[in-house]
Amino acid sequence: MKRAALIILDGWGYRTDPANNAVVQGGTPNLDALAARYPSSTLGASGLSVGLPDGQMGNSEVGHLNLGAGRIVYQELTRINLAVESGDIFANEALLDCAAKVKESGGALHLIGLLSDGGVHSHQEHLFKLVEFAKREGVKELFVHPLLDGRDTPPTSGAGFLRRLEVVLAEKGFGRIASVAGRFWGMDRDNRWERVERAFNAITKGEGERVTSPVKSVEEAYRTGETDEFIPPRVVVGEDGLPIGRVEDGDGVIFFNFRADRAREITRAFTEKKFDAFCVAGRPKLSSYLCMTEYDETFDLPVAFPPEKLEKIL
């Protein structure tokens, strides 16, 4: 086997148009000579070519990862996007196991995560497909607990995202929004547990401002100067004034954020055996808690899209 050298020029690109093109304008006689003497080709450095969403600019880290692996390494967002688009998500073993356990217990399934199209921590299309999945699998009841964004999306766009979610739930004829809160409360990452406690108690105990319309309650918050990120937990109640969808014993949870850092704390509150950051006495005994991706390698929890194990790399 002949030996070869892998030489990387960071920030180097190929484009024939000389306008705003330092490479062409600077002249590259040595590279030109090598390309003329030996076989040459080009590789895509952005979008799906390097495992990123279509149209997204590449970067040094992603480029080196793909070169070192000798293949396309799909980022978590792209992996899930492809599974959603192809329908492979419906055959995901971890999701199927979660649904089976919920059905066996006779409980409800709860979808918790950031309602956003920002693509930084989550994507609403993943949530919509999970709604479809739950209906296909025959889960008894489905409740959604959206966390509003306002950082990776405009600060008062949450009401629009909630409206879109309501349309999807109505079209599927399945699922209801059970609580709403800003990400400030449910997605802390700096051990400010008093925030996480507020979100956790809204979801599990029905504690928080009680509302009948999540969209209207958020619009009212805008009128008082609140924005998506900071909206305190609201709990949706029925005609009897009681919460329609608290997490209870036997229920299952899918936390659908794909980025780990802001999903860890609330996941610990739900699942950690010796959790003591705040009182979780009477915490629901879940049939399943499924993480969309691996939030922490020390968590003994099922994962829908675990890290890929790459073999035969450079």
Please write the tens of the pLDDT for every residue from 252-284.
Answer: 999 999 999 999 999 999 999 999 999 999 999
Structural domain for 131, as ranges: 76-305
Residue 16 forms part of a structural domain: no
What the block records as the tokens of 245 is 């969808």
Pick the range with the lowest mean pLDDT from 46-50, 54-58, 280-284: 54-58
* Domain shared by 103 and 69, yes or no: no
Residue 60 has pLDDT above 90, yes or no: no
pTM over 0.85: yes
Neighbours of 263 (CB within 10 A): 26
Q: Residue 166 belongs to a domain with what CATH number?
A: 3.40.1450.10
Got the DSSP string for 249-281? TT-EEEE----STTTHHHHHHHH-TT--SS--T
Residue 6 has pLDDT above 90, yes or no: no
Mean pLDDT of 149-166: 98
Residue 55 has pLDDT above 90, yes or no: no
* Domain shared by 261 and 145, yes or no: yes
Pick the range with the lowest mean pLDDT from 31-40, 148-157, 197-206: 31-40
* Domain shared by 67 and 150, yes or no: no
CB crowding 149-178: b at 16 or more within 10 Å, else e = bbbebeebbbbebbeebbebbeeeebbbbb
pLDDT value, residue 18 = 93
Rounded to the nearest integer, the mean pLDDT of the chain is: 96
pLDDT value, residue 5 = 85
Which among 46, 60, 213, 288 is annotated as catalytic?
A: 60
Residue 23 forms part of a structural domain: no
Does the annotation mark 60 as catalytic? yes
Is 74 in a helix, a strand, or coil?
coil
Q: How many residues does the chain have?
A: 314
